[in-house]
Amino acid sequence: MRSKRVLDLPLNIIAETNDLLVVNKPPSLPVHACGQYAIHTVLGQLRYNHNRSGLRVLHRLDRTTSGVLLFAKNYETDVEVFYLRNWANQYLSHMITEFLQFFSSEEVECNEPIGVLVISMGIQCVRADGKPARSLFKKLWSDGKRSVLSVKLYTGRTHQIRVHAQFLGYPIVGDQLYNSTVWGPQKGKGAEYCKSYSELCDDVRNAHKCSNWHETIDPEYELRMAKMADEEVTIPATIHVPSVLDRPLYDPICLNCNVVKREVPRDHFQLYLHCLRYSTEKWSYSTPIPEWAIDAEQLPSMKHCDFLGI
């Protein structure tokens, strides 16, 4: 089985103690193995390129999200961090249009409850029967068409920033899940979906099912498999099982290797959402600001979050 493609970006270690490992996760890498992602994961890269293993995931970031990611090195730290109070995490996001153009202040707080819409895909939405969620959005700069914001989370719901940004009417740039008219004419602004939750669930699921990425199967593959089905199979006395690193890039009997796939857009690999800082009552870790979040005209020397004063 082929591993899915990822962006050629470095996975940098920010800090390391006897108990914690902190990295700056690049976009496109899932945190751990899932589906066709085996080596191309954060844990996989740490194991093969940095000789780090036995790590415990303290929190997760979406595959397309970048930024601060923490791991515990032992069970005791895992438990200790779980019970720490006063967690604070801060994100940067890139949104379409002039943010806050309808608000008098430079900050907007969203307290809409968030619940599951498509369980199998982990897709969320604002709904009255959801769990409490609180996000504080603060505009950093805007060019009149797009804005970069700082977002502070007070709760940790799945896709919280993406869902609240959608509710406010300013979805994140390139967000294939939540920046789409499948959520209604206004892309889910104000939770006005113009359809029932059942209909919305079906529409969103159909818009993102994996079969949408596949095209026709190679006709020669079907002929080859039909011929193999008619042949007698001889099982060798010994079977060599290659390691993950030795597996071929192409397998003539693998269905996934014999379909013509659509060209994958960059939005599939990168979401303009970055975890800038993670803090507790005991420590705080942060990353440099990504290039897409820096306003070259207004903040030419800003390279690290400490310059933001937020």
DSSP at 127: -
CA–CA dist 41, 247 (Å, integer): 17
Rounded distance between C-alpha atoms, residue 76 and residue 17, angstroms = 14
Give phi and psi for 306, each to the nearest 5.
Answer: -65, -25
Taking the C-alpha atoms of residue 8 and residue 45, their distance in angstroms, rounded to an integer, is 12
Given the residues 8, 62, 175, 295, the one annotated as active site = 62
Residue 103: half-sphere exposure toward Cβ, Cα within 13 Å: 15
Please state, in angstroms and rounded to a whole number, the distance separating the CA atoms of residues 245 and 22.
26
CB 290 within 8 A of CB 275: no
Q: Which residue has the tokens 């942060």?
A: 286
CB atoms inside a 10 Å sphere around CB 203: 17
Record the tokens describing residue 302, joined without a space.
């800003």
Q: In whole angstroms, what is the distance from residue 272 CA to residue 290 CA?
A: 9
With H, G, I as helix, E, B as strand and everything else as coil, classify residue 124. Answer: strand
Beta strands in 73-192 (DSSP E): 88-96, 107-110, 114-118, 123-126, 135-142, 146-153
> Which of 168, 187, 158 shows the shortest CA–CA distance to 111?
168
The answer to whether 267 is a known catalytic residue is no
DSSP string across 194-250: SS-HHHHHHHHHHHH-GGGGEEEEPHHHHHHHHHHHHSPP---SS-----GGG--S-
Catalytic residues: 62
